Amino acid sequence: MTKTKLIAAGVSALALSVASPALAQIKIGASLAVTGPAAFLGDPEAKTLEMLVEEINAQGGINGEEVELVLYDDGADPNKARTFATRLIEEDEVVAVIGGTSTGATMAMVPLFEDYEIPFISLAGAVVIIEPTKEYVFKTPHTDRMACRKIFEDITARGLSKVGLISGTGGFGKSMREQCMSVAEESGVEIVADETYGPNDADMTPQLTNIAGTDGIEAIVNPGFGQGPAVVTRNYDQLGIEVPFYQSHGVASDSFIELAGDAAEGVRLPATPLLIPDQLAEDDPQREPVQSYIAAYEEQYGESPSTFGGYAYDAFHLLVDAIERAGSSDPQAIRDALEETEGHAGVTGVYTFGPDDHLGLDLSSFRMLEIQDGGWVPVEQ
C-alpha cells in the first residue's frame, strides 16, 4: 500500500468513527432484487424499506434507538444473496434481516440465518420457505396454495366444481399449477382440463378452445404472471366463452386491467386490500395501514405502491413491533417476540404467528375481487 492510500484509509476510518452517532443503533439488514429480472418486485420493496426507516427515525426510532438499514442488491441471484447474507451477519452485525425477493434467493440464505440464529423475514412466495417451519425464518406474502384455495372456495360458493386450468410455464405459473392440483380435491373441485402456454406465446385460443369444449366445464383458472394472463383473458373474450374466469394474485395490479382492456370485465382474482383502499369497511383493521401506506408512498415517490412493496411494509412493521415488545434488540429476543405476534394488521393481511405458523395469514386476508367497469370491486361472500 502506498503512503497516500494509507493516509486515505486512515482518514476514511476516522470519518467513519466520527460519523457514528451517539445514539445506540439498531441495524436491520436487507438483501433484495433491486435490479435484474425480478426488479419490478424488488424495486418497490427497497423503496418501501428506505421510506419506512426514514419515517421511524423521524419519530425517534424504536425504543429510543435509531434504526439503520443495510441494504444490498442481490439481483435475484441466489449466489449473491448468500454472499450478502454472510456479509450482513459477520461484518454488518445486523440484528434481523428482511428480504429475499425471490424464492431462490431466500432459500439460499435460509441455512445461514438458521446457523447464526438471526431472525429473517422473507418477501418471497413459495410454500417451501415456511414449510417445514424453520425456527428463525418467517415470511409475509400469501402462498400460491392459499390463492388456489381462495379461488376454489369462491368457485364452490357459486355452486360450481368442474375447473379447467390454463397455466403459464414460467416459475410462478408452474408452481401455482402444482399447488392447485394438490388442493383441488380437498377444496371440493375437480380439475377436468389442464393446459399450459409459454411465457411469450402470442395466441392461446387452441388451449382455450379445448378447455371450453371439455364436458361439463364450469370455471377456468389461469395461474400465471406477466403478459400471458392478459393474452389469455383477451382470447377468452375473443372466443366468447361464458363460464366464470379466474386470474391469480400474480396479476393483481391496475396494469392488468389496462392490458386486458374490456376483456377483463367480470374476471375475478384473489388480492390484497391494497387494490381497494377506499372500499374497505370503516372497522376493517387493515383500512388504516393500507391507506397510510398508500398516502406515504405516493407522497414520497409520486407513484402508487404495489402489492410487493406491501410485503416489505408488513415485514418491517412486524419487526418493529417485535423489537418494541421485546424491549431489546437482541436477535433471540426479537425472534421470540416475532413468534408471539398476534393480530398484527398489515397491508397484506392480519398476522398471527405461532410456533408452527411462520406465515401467520389465513384465507380471510385474501380479498376476492371482481373487475367491473375497469375497476376493482370486492365480491360479497
Partner 1 sequence: MSELLQFLVSGVTVGAIYAAVALGFTMIYNASGVVNFAQGEFVVIGGLTAAFLIAMGVPVFLAAVLAVVAGTVVGILLYRLAIRPAREAPLVSLIIITIGASIFLRGAMQMVFDKQIHRYDGFSGETPLRFAGATILPQSLWIIFGSFAVFVFLAWFMSRTRAGRGIRATASNRLAAALVGINTRWAMNLSFALSAAVGALAGVLSTPVTFTSYDVGVLIALKGFSATMLGGVGSPQGALVGGLLIGLIESLTAGYISSDYKDAAAFIVILVVLFVRPEGLFGKKLTERV
Footprint of partner 1 (CB under 8 A): 39-40, 195-203, 205-207, 209-210, 213, 226-227, 230-231, 237-240, 255, 259, 261-262
CA atoms within 13 A of residue 313's CA, in its CB half-sphere: 28
138 in Cβ contact with 316 (< 8 Å): no
Residue 319 cell numbers, joined? 419487526
Q: State in angstroms the smallest separation of the CB of 252 from partner 1.
A: 15
Q: Considering beta carbons, is residue 70 or 239 the nearer one to partner 1?
A: 239
- H or E stretch covering 88: helix 78-90
Q: State in angstroms the smallest separation of the CB of 246 from partner 1.
A: 19
Q: State in angstroms the smallest separation of the CB of 285 from partner 1.
A: 33
* Strand ranges for 278-366 from DSSP E: 344-345, 350-351
Q: Considering beta carbons, is residue 198 or 266 the nearer one to partner 1?
A: 198
CA distance 109 to 107: 5
Q: State in angstroms the smallest separation of the CB of 201 from partner 1.
A: 8
316 in Cβ contact with 48 (< 8 Å): yes
Q: Considering beta carbons, is residue 43 or 339 the nearer one to partner 1?
A: 43
Q: State in angstroms the smallest separation of the CB of 37 from partner 1.
A: 9
Please say whether the dihedral angle defined by the alpha carbons of residues 52, 57, 62 and 68, taken in this order, is positive or negative.
Answer: positive
The phi-psi region of residue 99 (left if phi > 0; otherwise alpha if psi is between -120 and 50; otherwise beta) is: left
Q: Considering beta carbons, is residue 38 or 96 the nearer one to partner 1?
A: 38
Q: Considering beta carbons, is residue 37 or 354 the nearer one to partner 1?
A: 37
Q: Considering beta carbons, is residue 26 or 231 the nearer one to partner 1?
A: 231
CA atoms within 13 A of residue 332's CA, in its CB half-sphere: 2
Q: State in angstroms the smallest separation of the CB of 73 from partner 1.
A: 16
